[in-house]
Chain A
């Protein structure tokens, strides 16, 4: 069975304090790894798709990287508006998406 584990569960940062979120996975035939941002009471918002080990993608203060067993989401110099829950999902060979439980990031001004 495909498994996605995200750590830490919660992260409290001071504005400007860079940090990383981890997503470790076991999946049968990885087709892609997805990162989403979710604000309270709303649906997930697509951030990145990574397809192969070594791939990196950036968007504003966020940078996602992928290895054969895990992915990292780096937040550089975060601002309060970066506060959200960040979800990682893997797509298996059968195209099903399996999500992790997420990391809730709180950035204090």
Chain B
């Protein structure tokens, strides 16, 4: 059983560019949440998708947007990249929106130069 898979694993972008990160949830899961983890910090909640709609959002600007597809996979888009957007981006999947026992992917390491 494949767990949560994220792509790509690493990415280098230039300031001002746009980036799209992808996530496939664990089999049987229908909810995807995205987190940003800066070096030495805990993950920070960006937003959660369920039934193809954004259900919850953390304190992130509108430059961060997402999408969920009918097969429950999800994308995270970040526009107008800043140096401060450099981080590990984590996707977590769960069944339902209560977040119980969320399973995380390996993450995408984004470096903005």
Q: Does A57 lie at the interface of the complex (its beta carbon under 8 Å from any beta carbon of B)?
A: no
Q: Does B4 lie at the interface of the complex (its beta carbon under 8 Å from any beta carbon of A)?
A: yes
Q: Does A78 lie at the interface of the complex (its beta carbon under 8 Å from any beta carbon of B)?
A: no
Pairwise interchain contact B105-A43, C-beta atoms closer than 8 A: yes
Total chain B interface residues with beta-carbon distance under 8 A: 26
Q: Does B97 lie at the interface of the complex (its beta carbon under 8 Å from any beta carbon of A)?
A: yes
Contacts of B44 in A (CB 8 A): 99
Pairwise interchain contact A91-B42, C-beta atoms closer than 8 A: no
Q: Does B58 lie at the interface of the complex (its beta carbon under 8 Å from any beta carbon of A)?
A: yes
Q: How far is the CB of A84 from chain B (nearest CB, A)?
A: 14
Contacts of B107 in A (CB 8 A): 41-43
Nearest opposing residue in chain A for B103, CB measure? A46
Q: Does A98 lie at the interface of the complex (its beta carbon under 8 Å from any beta carbon of B)?
A: yes
Q: Which of A31, A49, A87 contacts B42 (CB 8 A)?
A: A87
Which A57-104 residues sit within 8 Å CB-CB of chain B? 87, 89, 91, 94-102
Identify which of B92, B99, B109 gathers the most chain A CB atoms within 10 Å of its CB.
B99
Contact (A95, B41) CB under 8 Å given A43-B106, A43-B107, A45-B104:
no
Contacts of A101 in B (CB 8 A): 40-42
Which B27-59 residues sit within 8 Å CB-CB of chain A? 33, 35, 40-45, 56, 58
Which B60-104 residues sit within 8 Å CB-CB of chain A? 88, 90, 92, 97-104
Nearest opposing residue in chain B for A51, CB measure? B100
| Residues of chain A having any CB pair with chain B under 8 Å | 4, 31-32, 36, 41-46, 49, 87, 89, 91, 94-102
Query: Can you pick out 23 interface pairs between chain A and chain B where the beta carbons lie within 8 Å of each other?
Result: A36-B104, A41-B106, A41-B107, A42-B107, A43-B4, A43-B90, A43-B104, A43-B105, A44-B104, A46-B103, A49-B100, A87-B43, A89-B43, A91-B98, A95-B97, A95-B99, A96-B45, A97-B33, A98-B45, A99-B44, A100-B42, A101-B41, A102-B42
